[in-house]
Chains A and B, each alone.
Chain A
Amino acid sequence: GKKAYDRSFLVQFQWEPPCV
């Protein structure tokens, strides 16, 4: 099936990039 993701699913993977 189509890989459709709703907003809340996508947002849970938002992360801040680590300081390098």
Chain B
Amino acid sequence: ISPELLIKHPLQNSWTLWFYKNDKQKQWEENQREISTFDTVEDFWALYNHIEAASRLQSGCDYSLFKAGIKPMWEDTKNKSGGRWLINLTRQQCINDLDSYWLETLLCLVGEAFDEQSDDICGTVVQIRTKGDKLAVWTGDLRNNDGILKIGMKYKERLGLPNKVCVMGYQAHADSMVICGSMPAQNRFTV
């Protein structure tokens, strides 16, 4: 094999994959398990091929992919001033599109698809729930209005979500933290 083929392609950032499994005997944070960190295109695929597809996870489980050093929780210093673009998948989308949307989201992140806005990206979370799966891209600074909107538009375009039918909302983590019961946090931005 030529040495050229042995050189892996470095990513701009190191990324950590996390797995959350809801075990009521344990604290929320203990249920978040760090799986692996990678920083090349080849290692991304090696990990992706090694794990269960999102659609095959049990209800109550999450996968998260965050830049190395950022924990997949609101309280992390890199997250606490930010929020998330959230997609509540319809039943039909959960059945047909979950795995392709999740892979597309991962490719957007590791490939730095959001141009100069990529620095504001913290990570992504896919949540498997009986009521409907959720997919989110987390960003770090709520004040970065233009950047958040550009990320939202680009993300929606990459997933191929129809513009008029599907409205995607951006929620501040600070709002989500103080919400009681099942009321969703108010959208700060929509695309």
Answer whether residue B10 sits at the interface, using C-beta atoms and an 8 A cutoff.
yes
Q: Report Cα–Cα, A7/B156, bound state, in Å.
A: 15
Answer whether residue B36 sits at the interface, using C-beta atoms and an 8 A cutoff.
no
Give every chain A residue within 8 A of B158 (Cβ-Cβ).
Answer: 7
Answer whether residue A4 sits at the interface, using C-beta atoms and an 8 A cutoff.
yes
Answer whether residue B96 sits at the interface, using C-beta atoms and an 8 A cutoff.
no
User: Interface residues of A: mostly helix, strand, loop or mixed?
Assistant: loop
A4-20 CB mask vs B (1 if < 8 Å, else 0) is 11110111011111000
Q: Report Cα–Cα, A17/B46, bound state, in Å.
A: 7
User: How many positions in chain B have a CB within 8 Å of any CB in the partner chain?
Assistant: 20
Contacting pair B111 A4 (CB below 8 A): yes
Contacting pair B107 A3 (CB below 8 A): no
Contacting pair A5 B41 (CB below 8 A): yes
Contacting pair B49 A3 (CB below 8 A): no
Query: What's the least CB distance linking A20 to chain B, in Å?
Result: 11
B20-56 CB mask vs A (1 if < 8 Å, else 0) is 0000000000000000000001101110011000000
Q: Which of B84-135 contact A (CB under 8 A)?
A: 104, 107, 110-113, 115, 118
Q: Report Cα–Cα, A20/B11, bound state, in Å.
A: 27
Q: Given the known A-B contacts A10-B41, A13-B9, A13-B41, are A5 and B111 also in contact in the complex, defined by CB atoms under 8 Å?
A: yes
Report A's interface with B, CB cutoff 8 A.
Answer: 2-7, 9-11, 13-17
Report B's interface with A, CB cutoff 8 A.
Answer: 9-12, 41-42, 44-46, 49-50, 104, 107, 110-113, 115, 118, 158
Closest 8 CB pairs of A and B: A4-B112, A5-B111, A3-B12, A13-B41, A17-B49, A14-B45, A10-B111, A10-B107
